[in-house]
Amino acid sequence: MSKSHPIFFAMTGLLLALAASGFSAPAAAQSLLDKLKHATQQLEQTTQAIKQHDQQPTAASGKNCGALGAGCLDYMNTVTDCLAPLHGYHAKMWADVIDERLASGKGVSAAQRQNLEEDRTAYRAAEANKTDTVDARISGRMFEDLPKDDQVEANRRYGVYYNQIMSKCNGADHMGVGHTTKLDYLKKQ
C-alpha cells in the first residue's frame, strides 16, 4: 500500500495519537497494546482488500489495470501500434511523387533524372524499413529537382493520411470502455 493512501495516514495518525496520550500504569500499557494490535489487524485487512480489488481484471480488457483501468502501463505500446501505419509513409509519398515526375518526363533534365532516381531508390528503401529517414547526402536534394507543385502534392497526400491515422488513434477506445470519439482534424470543404 502506498504511503500516500488515506488509510495509511489515518492509521498512522491513530497510532501517533495513542502513543502521545501516554500511560502510567501497566494496565494502561496493556490497553494501548491491545488497541495497537487491533489497529494493525484493521490496517492489514484493509490493505488486503485493496490488493484484491486492484488485482481483479477490468471487465472490458481482461487486463489487470487497477480499479479504474488507468493503471495499465502498456498504453504507449497501444498508441505505437495504432500509429504504425505512419512509419515510412512520408518516404512512400516522396517516392510516389518522384515516380510520377519521372514517368511524365516533363521538365526533367538528364542530371535531375539521375538524382531523382537515386532519391526514389533511397525513399523506397526507407519505406521498406518503416522509416522516413534517408541518407543525409540526398535527404533534401529532391527539393532542388522537384517543382514546388510536386512538393506541395507530396505533403498534401501525407497530411490527409496523417489526419486519418491520428483521428482514428486519438479517438480510439484504448482503455476498452466501449466508447470511441469521432475525430477529424481537417475540415472537409
Q: Return the domain boundaries, the chain.
A: 6-54, 82-170
d(CA 6, CA 12): 10
Q: Give the list of residues 6+ apart from residue 182 with CB closer than 8 angstroms, or none.
A: 167, 171
Helices of type H across the chain: 6-21, 26-54, 75-83, 89-104, 110-128, 142-145, 148-170
pLDDT at residue 140, as a whole number: 81
User: Over the range 94-117, which residues count as b (16 or more CB within 10 Å of their CB) and which as e?
Assistant: bbbbbeebeeeeeebeeebeebbe
Closest CA to 42 of 74, 14, 84: 14
In order along its 189 residues, the chain shows pLDDT tens digits of 455 566 666 666 665 665 556 544 566 666 777 888 888 888 788 777 766 655 555 444 556 666 555 566 666 777 788 889 999 999 999 999 999 999 988 888 899 999 999 999 999 999 999 998 888 888 788 888 888 999 999 999 998 999 888 888 877 776 667 777 777 666 654
d(CA 98, CA 146): 8
Report yes or no: 53 and 95 within 8 Å, Cβ to Cβ: no
The helix/strand/coil state of 161 is helix
Backbone angles phi, psi at 132, to 5 degrees: -110, 5
d(CA 94, CA 122): 10
Q: How many CA atoms lie within 13 A of 33 on its CB side?
A: 6
Residue the block writes with cell 500504569? 25
**What number of residues does the chain have?**
189
pTM listed for this prediction? 0.56
pLDDT at residue 17, as a whole number: 61
pLDDT at residue 93, as a whole number: 92
Q: Which three cell numbers stand for residue 150?
A: 510536386
